[in-house]
Chain A
């Protein structure tokens, strides 16, 4: 994954070892002993539901959260021992708009550069360039008070780039954005990778993780459950197709039905998905080795034989969500 670029100084942009974070008064560890490393120039995605520990992990890496134990390095600098140097090498785009409302959009960029010691003329030139690139030039003089979520996100990314960070942390970059704004963010992120900037992003959106990331770490309950390229993660799942079967129980016995599904030819594995959809309905996912469509008739028969009603059947390819389901037994959303 090594990509030559302007910032190549170290091989590893991020390294986390046995990281644990337990917040005071909390029963469980928010981050529970995770380890991973991100090579320079990679887009690394942390995928997991809300509360999985992704934001806390990024919080530690960006010097805002003190780890309970373990080690976190950014650009080979220990973020706990030397947060000041670490901060000079990284940038953060937070989930929430934290733009300086007392400053204009341009001044948000310029002051950020000043905090990081970027010489004034250089900062001005870079701000002009970024404002232009991000389609903010015509609003540069106005305050960021009434900007939309997508625009705030753009401004925050532009701000983060003002001091040429080696590693950029994006916390839920497209949460709450409309599809166009989301695509824009994705494009910018890819363009940055081309320049050799390492990107660490958190997301609960499997499409985003799959589309954008070179490698994905799947997190749940503070643990890192799997880490690989999106392709390898889905390939590791049994079967080449999936068949989602949603049934209305109506007094039938699901456990028996699942057993019957497993007996069907071509079914590699069956999982019950715990996603609180409409009441009384349950979703099971069949991983199929051959053509999933050939199973529609036998599956329908099993369902009716077990006194249940089939409400939905869907054929798909295994996605990161399936990986998540197979790892945790529950749906991502």
Chain B
């Protein structure tokens, strides 16, 4: 303890990696819980909507094909959102565990960035797991040569937009309201994101089509369809990417502001 302290500028990059490593380390210690958390929801959605409804004849042949890309997008966004929002709410309201990291020699905003990166990594894993789950439940999943670049880009953007939304929610909602806010945000988010239906098919229901454009998930679902099932009418991928980059920037900025407000008095 008597080692002399170097007075050079603290190495911010190292602090960032250490903080990210802490989250990855904790996740690795509770891997089964993590997997159950991320797999269960898409598993059931895929099974009920993709398998049961089509097998029973309530959904058309081929619905599973169009549902699958939407569910991958949904998984990316929802997992990202849950992975950043819930821990932040608990941290800021009760455990204050994050305080030690807020005192690490790095800008406060970088701690927020770490939260987004970590949540997005979880979302990436969850989305990737959707491929084997899809094969398992549906027998086959829509894939075509050349789908990979846009598919990967959409998974990344979807994970990031979800994580940014989680950061904003986790820092702007007081702990005692989180239940209400989650149910008020979550259900609409699930069903207005064009995951279960292609966006252009809403032409006949203009008001709902307009509402869905407010949900970032819509652009993820549509971009996924452009990648995996291009024969289904979909939004132009360029528009999807543009809207998502815009959403990530705006929501991420607002979330970072919220984080700073919670972190500093």
A contact residues vs B (CB 8 Å cutoff): 6-7, 9, 23, 56, 59, 62-66, 83-85, 87-89, 91-92, 94, 96, 98-103, 107-108, 111-112, 114-117, 122, 126, 129-130, 159, 161, 164, 166, 195
Contacts and interface: CB of A to CB of B under 8 A. Distances in A.
Interface stretch (B72-80, B97-105, B174-182): B97-105
Interface string B96-140: 110111111111100000000000000000000000000000000
A99 B97 contact: yes
Interface stretch (B7-15, B35-43, B213-221, B235-243): B7-15
Interface residues of B, number: 35
21 contacts: A6-B4, A7-B5, A23-B265, A56-B265, A64-B99, A64-B103, A85-B10, A85-B105, A87-B10, A96-B96, A102-B26, A103-B22, A103-B26, A111-B18, A111-B100, A115-B18, A115-B19, A115-B22, A115-B104, A161-B1, A164-B3
B140 to A, nearest CB: 40
A114 B21 CA distance: 9
A132 B194 CA distance: 58
A100 B107 CA distance: 20
Nearest to B26: A102
A84 B108 CA distance: 9
A129 B1 contact: yes
B187 interface: no
A102 B27 CA distance: 9
A112 B21 CA distance: 12
Contact of B264 (A9, A64, A89, A108): A64
A89 B5 contact: yes
A251 to B, nearest CB: 49
Contacts of B105: 84-85, 87-88, 115-117
B2 interface: yes
A129 B2 CA distance: 12
B22 A111 contact: yes
B100 A115 contact: yes
B207 to A, nearest CB: 40
Of B7, B10, B25, B264, most A-chain CB atoms within 10 Å: B10
B95 interface: yes
Contact of B15 (A101, A103, A117, A126): A117
A87 B102 CA distance: 9
A98 B264 contact: no
